Amino acid sequence: MSLKILFMGTPNFAVPILKSIHNSSHEVLEVYTQPPKKKNRGQKISHSPVHKYSNEINVPVRHPLRLDTQEELKHLKKLKPDIAVVVAYGKILPTNILNLENMIFINVHASLLPKWRGAAPIQRAIMNCDNETGISIMKIVTKLDAGPVLIESKIKIMKETNFEELSSQMSNLGAKLILKALDLIENDKAKFIPQNDKDATYAKKIDKTECKINWNSEAKNIIAKINALHPNPGSWFELKGSRIKAIRAIEVGIAGEPGEIINKNFTIACSQNSVQILELKKEGKNKITSSEFVKGNELKVGSNIITDV
């Protein structure tokens, strides 16, 4: 017996998980995603990655502006899915929908709950210099990411791992894990274990003010921020009036005054150790290596990008 699935998701992260379910014995009845947006000057309509993939596999797509309406409630009652699988949908599910009879709402969350509940769990795990993270599949309740956990799996975070890489790894892990979860539910073997709220931490949404590099921080934390915010929104600093986005960097054991340019290798001192920029992107320009940048831009060794404005 296959399960009838309602899938709710929006970004690239959710696509492999939807694909995994679609290729299984279960039936995806319909997909909910964020509404299309007008993009750039031409105001061209842009659909979410989940919307685009759903069109490819001919699964009906619905993108309501609001879920807390009688129209949506009636629609879901008529659809009669067994399970709703929610993956980075971007909307809070109202209580009247969560309380629908004969329907389970489960969420594929990108952290080892109760750690990093909230909007940006992958970025916060990297920024916090965590050694590991993982995927948790839990039952959705009204409190944010606080529902009991059915199944989870860990994944290592390496020092050089950035958001783009880790997100892809975790999405593929979620694609495998969701099938195990659905199998447990289908065979009445699902055991949801309550979270310990005392251990909860929260991954708040990334704010633009966090993107600027603070050279008074330790080098390891600056590297973590660069990795966590790549490729978007990116982590940046100012040099001679231009905004430079740091794309790839390493920590080196050289001391100096925070913000001081240590050498021609584009090494900048921090409160502890230094950061050597390997790849960067000048505002309005293409991505280049630091050695390419240095060839066309003078780096004054001993100057300080914080104080020498």
Q: Model confidence over 183-208: pLDDT tens digits? A: 999 999 999 999 999 999 999 999 99
Class of domain 208-296 (CATH, top level): alpha beta
CATH 3.40.50.170 domain span(s) along the chain: 4-203
Question: What number is the average pLDDT over the span 26-34?
Answer: 98
- Rounded Cα distance between 106 and 175, Å, is 14
Region 140-151: mean pLDDT is 97
Instruction: Please give the average per-residue pLDDT across 220-227, as a whole number.
Output: 98
Closest to 1 (Cα-Cα) out of 183, 126, 264, 132: 183
The residues of the chain that CATH labels 3.10.25.10 are 208-296
Interval 121-131 mean pLDDT: 98
Rg (CA), the chain: 23
CATH dotted code for 4-203? 3.40.50.170
35-59 tens-digit pLDDT? 998 776 666 889 999 999 999 999 9
